[in-house]
Structures are given as structure tokens and as C-alpha cells.
Chain A
Amino acid sequence: MRLLLAADVAIGCGTALLVLVQATLLARIIAGSYSGSTLADLRPLLGLLLVVFAGRAGLAWAFEAVGRLAATSVLSRLRLDLAARRFADDPAALDGAQSADLAAAGVYGATALETYFGRFLPQLVLAAVVPVAVLLWILPIDIASAAIMLVTLPLVAVFMVLVGGYTAQRTRERANALGLLATQFMGVVRGLPTLRAFNRSRAQTEVIAERSDAYRQATLGTLRVSFLSGAVLDLAATLAIALVAVSVGLRLDAGRMTLEPALVILILAPELYLPLRSLGALYHASADGVAVASRLLSASEAPPAGRTRARRPPSLRDSVVRLERVSYAYPGRPVPVVSDVDLALLPGEMVALVGPTGSGKSTIASMLLGFTAPTAGSITVGGVDLAVCDLDTWRASVAWVPQHPTLFRASVAENIRLGRPAAPVREVHAAARLAGADAFIRDLQRGYDTMVGDGGRQVSAGQLQRIALARGFLRRASLLVLDEPTANVDRESAGTIVDAIAGLRGSTVLVITHAPDLAAVADRVVEVRGGRVAQARARAVATA
């Protein structure tokens, strides 16, 4: 990165030098021809001019290439850090919408970041180097012109800051309004079937036109003001060129100057303002880039170092998992979502956790999986505190099927095999059969090889649930944590799944459910209400 920045500075200095040489050469050739030199006399200078242009072309290419190189390397690092961090500390911290948002920032924010690192920063170097070089070059040639430039240049810079400060806020507001307009349009398009069903779809045409027109008028009002500062900036630059030209012209006429230096000044005048104007055009993009970068950086910040987790947890085949007076409160919230929960999972036992939505069932599961640490109390496995256990080893013996499982962009078979990548095909099919998924998978056009996930074949919520269950079953874990395995599944499949879960032997199972028939097959039913264990029943009571 430092190297690339150095390259940017080198390109900036090289460009500045070539700009000066080019102006001098042009002036010398024109002045030479003016005072009677023949083409033959001028040929070496013309050759040199071509070389200078070639040099500028090369630098322009390098400017773009180096900028892009810097941008991509910064972005790659940010993206990979972001993903690695998410695995390392708190994988369950984000919900779906937040992940999508962050991912969009990580990839599409890339455009803003690319502009920032690839264009804004190098342009900043150019804007710092070129005007200074031009001024220093002109100063000994003609003090009066240098003075005009010295006065107008800060003016341009001041207006640039004004453009940035005063209008950025309003411009952003309009951009947000434009975004809202697009969202509203999207909503209407998505809702078209409903609108048509109620014969209201034609009426929307006017609504769309009216909204767009209202937006246009409001926006133009803002633009009249925000473009004004841009216009003043433009005016300062062109007017300064005109002023320089006229004053130099008058001094030439008075005989206080010769043609060649006058031409040098005239040719250099636009070069003085050009980098600054290009920089101004990139101002908004750069602000966006900074915002994206800070969002990604804060998301990938290193977490505080925790306790060492080196202990191997005892085998679950013969040890009890015990929650002792476990509580959990979200950071910054006084009311705990789980409080004082005592729960023991005996080896090979199936426990159903029931209770209304939001009663803390999923949080209990999350603590068992090691995603969240209890804020009070402890979870022990065979007497060993989970907080000191190596989480990878612990998780290797646990299978978890979340309430909203993720389908990865791969074939159905690969999605199931995620549970145990080395599993032979036969066992993948067996797990699918157990989860009641085999039949519908075989009905898919390409069976187990059908691609699913984003961009692949859509599966229904129930099918997704069953693929995830198969994934969990294939894992052959000692502890199975199933979160609402029969929600969103039609009755027949639900029956299959209940039978499959009831038939699981040898594993400890914790199932979170609303469904009475699933709770009925559990050895014990524990009811959770408001974060507390409200009632524990043996199987006989639950089926009554």
C-alpha cells in the first residue's frame, strides 16, 4: 500500500514535470514559427514534443493502473478480514438483513472505495503537486500572472470546500429521496398481482407519474443552489484564464514581455485548475468511500481477547450437559431474555423445549452451541465448564438445525454433505430419507445433483427445512439441537420428520417446537415462559 502511494506521488511529480516541459516546448515552437523559423529548424523540437506526449500518455495509463491496483488490494483485505472475523468471534451476531447489508457494502461499496483509493487519492496527489509546480514555474517568468493565479487558486479551493460542505448534505438528501422513489416503484411492481386483483393497477400509472414529477421539481430546486457553487468554481477558473490572457496581452502590447513566456503562461493556465476541478468532481464519491471503509473496518475490528479455551470436552455418550442458573441479557438491555434456567440433558435423552415465541428458547440453544456466553450461571459438560472448552472440538460433536437454515449455492447432495463432508453417497441418501426429503429430491430434474441456493432452483420452506434436517442427521452427532424442525412443513412431511426424530437412538436431542405431536415423542417436555422454566413434564403428562 505504501509502495503504491509512493508510486502515486511519483506519477504526480512526473505528470507535473511533463506538463511544464510540454507547455515550454509548445510555446517555443509557436514562437519560433512566429518569428520565422522553418519547419526544418523546428523538427527536433516537434520530435521532443511527441516524446513528451508519449510520456504523458504512459503516465495517464500508470495513474489508472496503479490506482486500481491499490483499490483492489485494499478491498480484498477488507472483505476477507470481514468474513474471517465473523467466523472467529460471534457468528450468530447478525441477522439475515444485516448480513446482506454488510455484504453489499463489502462488494458494491467496492465501487465507492475503488473511486476513493483508485482515483480520489491519486488525484489528491496530482492536485497538490501540479498547481504548485505550475505556480513556481510561472513566478520567475511573470509575477503579475503568478499573482492572479495565486489569488484565484485559493478561491477555487474555498469554493470546492463550499461545494462539499454546503451542498453535500442536500445532495445526499435528494439521493435518499431518489432511493425512496425507486423503492416505492419496486413495491408497486412487486404488488402488481394484488393491484390487478382489486382492479387498482391502472390507477397506479398516475401515481407513479405524479410522484416522479414531484420528486423532479423538488430536486431541481435543490440543484439550482448546489450547482451554483459548482458554477462559481468553474467561473473562477475560466475567468482567471481570461484575466491572465488579457493582462499578458496588454503587457506584450506595451513591450514589457516577449511572446514565448506569454504563451507558456497561457498554455499552463488551464493546467493549474484542471486537477482541482477533477478532484471536486470526485468529492462525493470519496465521501461515500470513507463511509463504506469505516463501516467495513468497524465490522472487522478485533474483539477483546477472551479466556483460553483449551480443555477437551468429555464425550457426550456418557456425560450430562447441565445448565445451572443460566441467565442471558443482551448487552445494554437490563431485562434478561433467559433467567435462572436449570436444565439437564441426560445421555440419549430427548428433551422438548416449548413455549411462546420470544420466550428465550433459541437463546438457550445458542448458548449450548457456544455462540453466546451466559451472562450469569454456567453450562457444564460432564462437569467441565463449556467456557473453558475448545469450541471446535465441542461443536464437532453437536449438530444444529436452525429455525431458518441456510441453503448454500451448491448441489442438494453437497448441501446435505456439509454435515459430514466424507460421508458416502449411500449415507447421504439415507439421511435424506430419514428427514423425509428423499422423495422430493428424486423428483427434482437432476435429483441430488440439482443446484440450489441463490441463483439455483428455488425450494419451498418445507423442502429447505428437510434438507437441513438431513444435513443434521448425516452428522451423526452426539447432541442434536433442532429449532422448530416442523414449522413451515406440510402435515405429511411433518409426520415423517416426527417419526424420524422419535426414531433417533443414541443421541441426546434438544428440540424446540410448537407442534404438540413433536413434543409428544420427547422423553421430557420443558416449558419456557418469559425466559424462565415454567414447567417440566414427563412424557406421560405431555401426551395426555
Chain B
Amino acid sequence: MIATIRRTIRLAPPPWLRLSVSILLGACAVACGIGLMGTAGYLIARAAERPEVLSLSVAIVAVRFFGLARPLARYIERLASHDVALRLLARIRVSFYERLEPLAPAELDAYRKGDLLGRMVGDVEALQGIYLRGIGPPVVCLVVAAAAVGVSAAILPQGAVVLGCGLLLAATVVPLVGWRLGRAAAGSAAARGSLTAELVELLRGAPELVMCGAGPDALRRLGEGDRAVARLSRREGLAVGVTDGLGIAITGVTVAGVLAVAAAQRSAGEIDGVMVATLALLSLASFEAVGPLPQAARELSSTLAAASRVLDIVDREPRVCDPAEPAPVIASRPTFALEHVTARYSPAGPAVLEDVSITLAVGRRVALVGPSGSGKTTVANLLLRFLDPVEGRVTLDGRDLREHRQEDVRRLLAVGGQNSHLFSTTIRENVRLANPDATDAAVEDALRRARISDWVATLPDGLDTLVGEEGGWLSGGQRQRISLARALLAARPVVILDEPTAHLDPETAEALMDDVLSALRGKTLLLITHRSEGLERMDAILELDGGRIVSDTRRGGAPATAE
């Protein structure tokens, strides 16, 4: 636990001052609540002795002060703690992003499956809980409980010992039980996740299940999953009840103990009756300090699990690094080449490419074909230096890419196609991604060359039209053309298109490839595809299978593979 907290602090140091102020305010609010009951007890017991009203005035002022101060402190504390929480979220996101950035995409390959990436980003938010639950409540409890014990020690040391023991017990045993329960809740989270998956699958696959007559079976399985979740949830409920009950029981024993000690001392004439009342009410109220601990502990234990998952990822060292003294990139008409390259995504993993040589000479159009999983996209990743080869080398005009700065190399390349991400913003922002200062005229020109400007012109919002998450509001063809326009606007000498015709029907695919090839005239093109559209106009077609080049068809000019 301490290690995770320390790692979290190293990743994103909190705004210490603000955090301390917010914790202090929280402690003030709780202390005022205890003070209110303690002084009220004193006031009443003292009043019962029927002194001059004036002699009660200090107690009356104190009672009123605590009554007013408590809600005020609570109000400011809530604002301060929300401010801290939001600042933390911002800091955590930024540092997480900064650490993640050099890892993408090659070293996050494993996370692209399913929605692990989505879950991981959800986990990032859990990190702020480390501060809000792991630091705040214990510190507030410690400060306030210490103060309460201190005040009661001034009244009656023996009573303070009983109270101190009770508070200590409530602050350790109860949260510990809560912590253990939080562990059990982690199991229930997994069971819930699997039940959701089951339910999604069942709702989505319902037509097929019905057609196969498998409905009743699926319902039975769902019922089993549901019972498992219900069982865990009930067990969790029972257990939460145990912490609540335990807290009350400890309070009762402590208050009774304090009363017994105070009563004994009172008979012995050590303290007067007023102090008995004050001490009793103070003890009763001081358990407010430990109240939030069990829930915080319960939540912290699941937070820690999420946090360590995130930390394990961001603490990785990126394997692709810039050289200490980078060689300048001068070429404006570069030739890229793979020379006997073998590549793998993890040191122990299988080779994705084996002894592959490809030359992308200036102005040539090379197609890379082959079944999915044959290593086509890895070639693109190598050129972009998302990945370094384990054997052989990737060169730019004969020089190893590893001698250059990554950003300098990428300045020569533009990417488009199915893996080119459309962001949930406007068409304009998506097109000028590589070139944020581009004018509307330039954006429109790129859209025209990608043959989609006519359609954009018909939209009521034109360039300001939002494309939805991952471009989900556009059709497949429209998405491809927008990503093509982006690659065109980037004005780079080499263009990599990864499956630009994926998910398109043959007519649309044919039309798109026509437009692509005319728009990219004069540029070096690497076309990655498993379809036939446009292949007849390529200078060379390389076929990859199982990470090796299995055929090399040239149409005049220099060969595509190195000699």
C-alpha cells in the first residue's frame, strides 16, 4: 500500500499546500462538531449548578461559535477538496499521458485487444482516490482524535486513556475489517464485469441464439451468473453491516467505560459533576472522527488495485529512444528502406517480420498485400519508428533511423487509412491535425483532392460538422476520405495508407482508390491492403505471409526489395 502511494506521488505529486488546507478544514469541521457537544454538555451541567447567568456567557458563546463554525468549515472544506480533486485529476491525466505517449502504439499492443485501453483509462481516475481516501481521512482522524484525547486528558487522565483506547480500536480494527471486505468486493467487481459481458453478449446475440434455439440455455447461464453476483453482493452487504455494527459497539463500550471511570473519580471527589457531563458528551461525539474510515478503507483497497495496474504500465521504459547526438535529416525527397529486418513486439514474443527487405524509392508506389496478421502494419510501424528492428536496420537515405530524432523522421511521413484515428471534434480540426495553422482554404483544398469537398459543402455546418467518437457519425468511405485529406494537407513526401478500402463495398473502394492515386501523384506511397482495388496501378506488389516476403511483382523501374 505504502509503495503504491509512493509511486503515485512520484507520478503526479499533489498540490501539497491545497491538499493540507483541505485536510485541515475537514479536521476543523469534525472538531467543531465534537466541540459543540462537549461545550453544550459543560454548559448544561454548569447551568444546573445555577450560577450567575454572566458566568455562563463564555460557554454560551462557545456553543454558538461551534454551531456556526462547523457548517462554515464544512462548506469551505467541500469546495477546497473538490478543487484539489479536480486539480489532481488534471495532473494525473497529464503525467499519465506524458508517460504513455512514448509507449504507443508498439508497446501497448497487448492493450488494444478488447477494451483494455478503455479500462486502463478508467483506472487512471482511480489514482486521485489514493490521495482523497488514502491520505485525507486518516490524517483528519489522527488530528481530531488526538485533540479530543488531549482535551479529555486535561479533564481526567484515566478517562482519556479509555477514550484513547476506544478510538484507536475503532480507527484500526474497523477499517481493517473494511479493508478485508474491500478485497472481497474486488471479486464482486470481476463477477459483475463478467455478468455484464454475458448480458451484452446475450442481448446482442439474441437473434442468433433464438435462431439456433439456444435461448433457454443462455437464460439459464445468465441466471447462474446473476446468482453468483447476488451472492457476492449479499455477502458484501452483510460484511458492511458488520463494520457498521462493530463501530457502534466499540463506541458503546468506550462511552460506558469513560462514564464508569468518571463516576468512580467523581465519588472519590477527584473531579466535579460538571466535568462528568462534559467528558461523557465529548467521548460520545468524538467517534465522529473515525466514522468515515471504514468506507475509505473499503474503497481504498479497490482503488489501490486499479492504481497499481496503471502504474505498472506507465513505469515502463520506452524501448525506442532518441540518440544523444541526433543526425540532422536533410532529405526532402527521401528514400526509406528496410534491410533484412526482423522485428518483434516484445523481446520474448514471436518474430512478426523475418529478414524482410523493402525499398521505398522516391516517387514509387509499393503495395504490401497479404492476409491479416502477416506483418503488413509492422512495416509501417518500423518506418514511423514506433518500433525498432531486433535484426537488420531501417534506413533513411542509407542512414540508420536510430541515428535520427524520431520527430525528424516522422516529419517526412504521413499516414492514413483504417488505423488513422478520427477525433471526436470537427471535420476541420481532424483534417488539419498535422498542420494546426492551416487556413480554411487549405483544408478545403485537401478535402477537394480527397474528393469529399462536395459532400462537406452540403452539410449545414460545413467544416464545423462534428464527426462523433472515432468518426462514428460518418460512413466508412467518408472516414477514409477525411483521413486521406489529413494526409494530403500534411504535405509529406512519403505517404503510408493502411487498408484505406477496409469495410467499403467494391464500387466505393474502386472510386476511392482512383481518387487516392490521382491525389498522391508524385509522392512515394506505401499501400497496405488485402484487397485488389488499385493494385494494377502500383509500381510493385509485395506479398507478405507469416512475416516473410513470399512474392515480389514489379512493373518496371527499380525493384522494390533490396538486392
Most A-side CB within 10 Å, residue of B59, B277, B384: B277
Q: A203-B436, A234-B70, A462-B372 are in contact. List 15 more A-B contacts (CB 8 A).
A: A42-B260, A46-B256, A71-B237, A102-B203, A187-B470, A196-B384, A205-B101, A237-B71, A259-B44, A266-B40, A266-B41, A399-B211, A406-B208, A487-B505, A492-B371
A73 to B229 alpha-carbon distance, docked (Å): 11
Give residues 268-327 of A contacting B (CB, 8 Å). 270
Select which of B53, B114, B117, B503 is within 8 A of A253 by beta carbon: B53
Give residues 41-68 of A contacting B (CB, 8 Å). 42, 46, 49-50, 52-54, 56-58, 60-65, 67-68
Say if the beta carbon of B448 comes within 8 Å of chain A. no
CB distance from A223 to the nearest CB of B (A): 6
15 A/B residue pairs, CB under 8 Å, sorted by A:
A57-B246, A60-B245, A61-B242, A76-B226, A76-B230, A185-B121, A197-B413, A199-B411, A216-B87, A241-B36, A255-B50, A259-B45, A455-B197, A471-B212, A515-B506
Say if the beta carbon of A435 comes within 8 Å of chain B. no
Select which of B33, B211, B274 is within 8 A of A369 by beta carbon: B211
Contact pattern, A 140-183, Cβ under 8 Å of B = 1, otherwise 0: 00000000000000000000000000000000000000000011
CB within 8 Å for A57 and B121 given contacts A83-B219, A227-B78, A514-B506: no
Question: A263–B277 contact, CB under 8 A?
Answer: yes
Say if the beta carbon of A383 comes within 8 Å of chain B. no
Say if the beta carbon of B67 comes within 8 Å of chain A. yes
Of A329-337, A345-353, A390-398, A534-542, the stretch lying at the interface with chain B is A390-398
Residue of A nearest to B472 (CB): A97
Question: B237–A238 contact, CB under 8 A?
Answer: no
Most A-side CB within 10 Å, residue of B104, B218, B415: B104
Question: A400–B208 contact, CB under 8 A?
Answer: yes
Q: Which residues of B contact A419 (CB under 8 A)?
A: 212
Question: A34–B219 contact, CB under 8 A?
Answer: no
Give residues 26-51 of A contacting B (CB, 8 Å). 26, 29-30, 32-39, 42, 46, 49-50
CB distance from B74 to the nearest CB of A (A): 6
Give residues 433-471 of A contacting B (CB, 8 Å). 453-455, 458, 460, 462, 471
Q: Which residues of B contact A203 (CB under 8 A)?
A: 436
Say if the beta carbon of B180 comes within 8 Å of chain A. no
The size bracket of the interface on A is 35 or more
Q: Is chain B's binding surface mostly helix, strand, loop or mixed?
A: helix
Contact pattern, B 229-272, Cβ under 8 Å of A = 1, otherwise 0: 11001101110111011111101110110011011101100000
CB distance from A115 to the nearest CB of B (A): 12
Q: Is chain A's binding surface mostly helix, strand, loop or mixed?
A: helix
A253 to B51 alpha-carbon distance, docked (Å): 7
A242 to B234 alpha-carbon distance, docked (Å): 41
Q: Which residues of A contact B249 (CB under 8 A)?
A: 53-54, 57
Say if the beta carbon of B562 comes within 8 Å of chain A. no
Residue of A nearest to B217 (CB): A421
Say if the beta carbon of A418 comes within 8 Å of chain B. yes
CB distance from A508 to the nearest CB of B (A): 16
Q: Which residues of A contact B264 (CB under 8 A)?
A: 38-39
Say if the beta carbon of B94 comes within 8 Å of chain A. yes
Question: A68–B236 contact, CB under 8 A?
Answer: yes
Top 5 closest A-B pairs, CB basis?
A53-B252, A68-B237, A242-B67, A212-B90, A64-B241
Q: Which residues of A contact B89 (CB under 8 A)?
A: 212
Give residues 266-308 of B contacting A (CB, 8 Å). 266-267, 273-274, 276-277, 280-281, 284
Say if the beta carbon of B192 comes within 8 Å of chain A. yes
A406 to B260 alpha-carbon distance, docked (Å): 70
Say if the beta carbon of A376 comes within 8 Å of chain B. no
Select which of A73, A118, A249 is within 8 A of B59 by beta carbon: A249
Give residues 446-500 of B contacting A (CB, 8 Å). 469-470, 486, 490
CB distance from A202 to the nearest CB of B (A): 7
Say if the beta carbon of B424 comes within 8 Å of chain A. yes
Say if the beta carbon of A80 comes within 8 Å of chain B. yes
Most B-side CB within 10 Å, residue of A195, A232, A249, A396: A249
Q: Which residues of B contact A396 (CB under 8 A)?
A: 213
Question: A39–B267 contact, CB under 8 A?
Answer: yes
Question: B259–A30 contact, CB under 8 A?
Answer: yes
Residue of B nearest to A111 (CB): B192
CB distance from B43 to the nearest CB of A (A): 5
Q: Which residues of B contact A371 (CB under 8 A)?
A: 207
CB within 8 Å for A460 and B372 given contacts A52-B252, A242-B67: yes
Question: A103–B410 contact, CB under 8 A?
Answer: no
CB distance from B7 to the nearest CB of A (A): 20
Question: A223–B410 contact, CB under 8 A?
Answer: no
A104 to B413 alpha-carbon distance, docked (Å): 41
Q: Which residues of A contact B505 (CB under 8 A)?
A: 357, 487, 514
Question: A56–B50 contact, CB under 8 A?
Answer: no
Say if the beta carbon of A543 comes within 8 Å of chain B. no
CB within 8 Å for A209 and B198 given contacts A29-B259, A267-B281: no
Q: Which residues of A contact B67 (CB under 8 A)?
A: 238-239, 241-243
CB distance from A491 to the nearest CB of B (A): 7
Residue of B nearest to A202 (CB): B101
A246 to B83 alpha-carbon distance, docked (Å): 36
CB within 8 Å for A30 and B276 given contacts A201-B101, A234-B71: yes
Residue of B nearest to A98 (CB): B203
Say if the beta carbon of A248 comes within 8 Å of chain B. yes
Q: Which residues of B contact A202 (CB under 8 A)?
A: 101
Contact pattern, B 60-71, Cβ under 8 Å of A = 1, otherwise 0: 100110111011
Say if the beta carbon of B327 comes within 8 Å of chain A. no
Question: B63–A246 contact, CB under 8 A?
Answer: yes
Residue of B nearest to A33 (CB): B263
Question: B50–A253 contact, CB under 8 A?
Answer: yes
Of A86-94, A124-132, A521-529, the stretch lying at the interface with chain B is A86-94
Q: Which residues of A contact B51 (CB under 8 A)?
A: 253
Say if the beta carbon of B98 comes within 8 Å of chain A. yes
A456 to B113 alpha-carbon distance, docked (Å): 9
CB distance from B118 to the nearest CB of A (A): 7
CB distance from A420 to the nearest CB of B (A): 8
Question: A192–B104 contact, CB under 8 A?
Answer: yes
CB within 8 Å for A80 and B532 given contacts A56-B248, A68-B233, A253-B47: no
A464 to B461 alpha-carbon distance, docked (Å): 38
Question: B200–A49 contact, CB under 8 A?
Answer: no
Most B-side CB within 10 Å, residue of A82, A102, A241: A241
Say if the beta carbon of B421 comes within 8 Å of chain A. yes
Question: B207–A224 contact, CB under 8 A?
Answer: no
A42 to B194 alpha-carbon distance, docked (Å): 57
A108 to B44 alpha-carbon distance, docked (Å): 50
Select which of B70, B198, B260, B420 is within 8 A of A194 by beta carbon: B420
A83 to B209 alpha-carbon distance, docked (Å): 12
Q: Which residues of B contact A75 (CB under 8 A)?
A: 230
Question: B259–A63 contact, CB under 8 A?
Answer: no
Question: A200–B252 contact, CB under 8 A?
Answer: no
Question: B276–A34 contact, CB under 8 A?
Answer: yes
Say if the beta carbon of B48 comes within 8 Å of chain A. yes
A254 to B242 alpha-carbon distance, docked (Å): 46
A91 to B203 alpha-carbon distance, docked (Å): 8
Select which of B56, B83, B98, B230 is within 8 A of A205 by beta carbon: B98
Q: Which residues of B contact A37 (CB under 8 A)?
A: 263, 267
CB distance from A207 to the nearest CB of B (A): 10
Residue of B nearest to A477 (CB): B211
Q: Which residues of B contact A30 (CB under 8 A)?
A: 45, 259, 276-277, 280
Say if the beta carbon of A191 comes within 8 Å of chain B. yes
A266 to B502 alpha-carbon distance, docked (Å): 75
CB within 8 Å for A246 and B212 given contacts A83-B219, A270-B37, A408-B201: no
A239 to B125 alpha-carbon distance, docked (Å): 37
Residue of A nearest to B77 (CB): A227
Give residues 216-263 of A contacting B (CB, 8 Å). 216, 219-220, 223-224, 227-228, 230-232, 234-235, 237-239, 241-243, 245-246, 248-250, 252-255, 258-259, 262-263
CB distance from A505 to the nearest CB of B (A): 22
A63 to B372 alpha-carbon distance, docked (Å): 57
